[in-house]
Amino acid sequence: MRAAGFTGALGSTLPVPDADGRLVMALAGYGTQATRARGRFHLAAAAAALPDGAYRLEGLPHGRAAEEALGWLLAGYGFERYRTQSPQ
């Protein structure tokens, strides 16, 4: 982690590949309690930075899993149906 420059700062992401280069896990920075106090859905940045796939959220503080999962899901939603179409 240190060699990759991952500090755990809020919004940071470190994809971890296996020997063949396939993503096997990712670390998402959760910052400090003070940085988290300024907002919600802190894992949304990780969801936006990672490739599509199935992920499992682990190690969240007690009582935070539902809100962080919602932020993760909202980050992946495109709102395409209601977006104004740009002229071709």
Provide the number of structural domains found in the chain. Answer: 1
pTM, to two decimals = 0.76
2, part of any domain: no
The pLDDT tens digits of the residues spanning 62-82 come to 898 999 999 999 998 877 787
| Confidence band for 88, pLDDT divided at 50, 70 and 90 | low
3, part of any domain: no
- For residue 27, the enclosing domain spans 13-82
3-state secondary structure the chain: CCCCCCCCCCCCEEEEECCCCCEEEEEECCCCHHHHCCCCCCCHHHHHHCCCCCCCCCCCCCCCHHHHHHHHHHHHCCCHHHCCCCCC
What pLDDT is stored for residue 7 in this prediction?
93
48, part of any domain: yes
17, part of any domain: yes
69, part of any domain: yes
| Confidence band for 20, pLDDT divided at 50, 70 and 90 | very high
Read off the pLDDT of each residue in 48-53 and give the average, rounded to a whole number.
91
Percentage of the chain modeled with pLDDT above 90 = 57
